[in-house]
Amino acid sequence: MYLTRRFYIALVVIILLLGSGYAFAPLFVIGQWVLFAFFLTVLADGYLLYSVRGIQAFRQCADRFSNGDENEVSIRVESSYPRPVALEIIDEIPFIFQKRDIDFCVSLRANEGKTVSYQLRPTRRGVYSFGHIRVFVTGRIGLVSRRYTCGEPLDIKVYPSYLMLHQYELLAISDNLTELGIKRIRRIGHHTEFEQIKEYVKGDDYRTINWKASARRHELMVNVYQDERSQQIYNVIDKGRVMQQAFRGMTLLDYAINASLVLSYVAMQKEDKAGLVTFDEHFDTFVPASKQPGHMQTLLEKLYSQKTTFGETDFSALCVHLNKHVSKRSLLILYTNFSGISSMNRQLAYLKQLNRQHRLLVVFFEDAELKEYIATPAKDTEGYYRHVIAEKFAYEKRLVVSTLKQHGIYSLLTTPENLSIDVINKYLEMKARQLL
C-alpha cells in the first residue's frame, strides 16, 4: 500500500486543526472526530482496492527492434474493478535509453481496458532488456494506492534498420521512390546483354535491325537486349576507430551498416548479387554475393553482430583476402572515413590495387557539425581563426574526392543522415552508365 499526495494534504489539515485547539478548545474535539473519520476512510479505501485483484497489464512490441528508427511499444491495461479507478503506468524500459518519462496516467471505468503507446529509438545494436510494468491504482477516494507488478522481463534484439527496407519496399510497389530522394536515372546507350532475335514490329528501334537474320528470313528481324544481370555488389565496411565518430547518437559504423543493408536489398531487386565484407586489423566477415531467397536474412544476421576493436584498419589484409575470395570483377562499395588528405594517401596504394581488379566506390563522410559551424558568421578574431581551421578541414575532404578521381577511383562524400539515399543513387547512376 502506498500513501498518495491527497493523504498527506488531508493529514496536514487535520494536524493544523488539532493544533488550533490550543487556541480554541472546541477545534481540538472537532479535530479528533475528523481524525477518526479520516482513519475509517483510509481503511475503506484500502479495502476497496485490495478486495479484488483488479488490474492486468501486457506489453506489446515487435520481437526485434530496428536500429536508428522509431519502434512502437504498446501497453494494454484491463480493469476488473466494479468501479472507476485512476492508474499510473510505469514501464521499466532498458536503462541504455536513459529516459524517465515513460509514465502514463489513465482513467478507467468499471471493467474497461485501454492501450497506451510510446516509441523508442535505439542507437546501438545488441540485446535490450525490459523489466516489469508497474501499475499504481487509486480509487475514487484517492487516499491510498495499490501497486501491481505486471508483465515479464523481456529481451529484445536490436538489428540494423530493417524498417527502412519495408519503407523502400512499399514505396517501390507504389512507384513513389522519388519521395525518399531516389532519382530516376536515364539509361545511356543500349542495354548490354543480348536476349533474342525477334520479328520487327512498328515502334522497334531501327538501329537494332539484324540484317543477316533479315536476309535469311526475308523479313525484318531485330535484336532484343536486356539489362545485364547477376553482377556482384559487395558492401565493404571498415570497422576501425575512424568509424566510431558519433552523429545524432549513432556511430558512422551503424550508419554504414544500415546503408549496406538497404543497398543490398535494392541491388537484389535489380537482379544483381549482393555480398558483404567487413575488416579492421584483420579480414573479418565474408558473405559471398548471392540473390537466393533468404540471403537478406543472412546479411541481416551478419550485420547484427558487427563490433569494433577500435584499432587501426589494415587495408593490405583486405586486398589479399579479396583476391582470394572474389575472383569475378565486382563493384566494391567501401565505407570508411578519412580525416584528411594525409590519411587517404596512406591507403591510396591499396585503393588503386582494388580498383584495378574491381570497380571501387569509396564512401566517406562529411562532418555535418563542422559544415553547420562554417555556415555561421564569425563574431571576433578568435572566431575567424576557428573558421579558417574548419574550412581547411572541409577543403581537405573535397581534396580527397579530387585525388581519388585523378586515379580513376569513384568516390562519394556525404553526410551520415543522407548516406542511404546517396549510395543508392550512386549505385543506380553507375549501373545506368554501365560502369559495374
For position 189, what pLDDT does the model report? 47
CATH superfamily of 1-158: Immunoglobulins (2.60.40.10)
**In the chain, what are the domain boundaries?**
1-158, 162-186+229-432, 193-226
Task: Look at residue 369 in the predicted model and tell me its pLDDT.
Answer: 80
- Options 3.30.200.20, 3.40.50.150, 3.40.50.410, 3.30.420.40; CATH for 162-186+229-432 is 3.40.50.410
**Crossing angle (nearest 10°) for helices 295-304 and 252-269:** 170
Mean pLDDT in runs of 10 for the chain (436 residues)? 90 92 88 93 91 91 90 94 93 88 90 93 91 93 93 91 64 46 50 72 82 89 71 94 86 92 89 93 93 91 86 92 92 92 93 94 89 85 88 90 95 91 89 79
The helix or strand, by DSSP H or E, that contains position 352, with its residue range, turns out to be: helix 341-357
pLDDT (0 to 100) of residue 184: 53
HSE, side-chain direction, 13 A CA sphere, residue 249: 11
What three-state secondary structure class fits 61? strand
Same fold? 1-158, 162-186+229-432: no
Whether the CB-CB separation of 220 and 209 falls below 8 Å is answered with yes
* Residue 150 confidence (pLDDT): 93
What pLDDT sits at residue 173? 38
pLDDT attached to residue 249: 83
pLDDT (tens digit per residue) in 131-163: 999 999 998 899 999 999 998 999 999 998 877
Half-sphere exposure of 307 (CA within 13 A, CB side): 4
Residue 251, class by beta-carbon neighbours within 10 Å (0-12 exposed, 13-18 middle, 19+ buried)?
middle
Enter the pTM of the model: 0.76
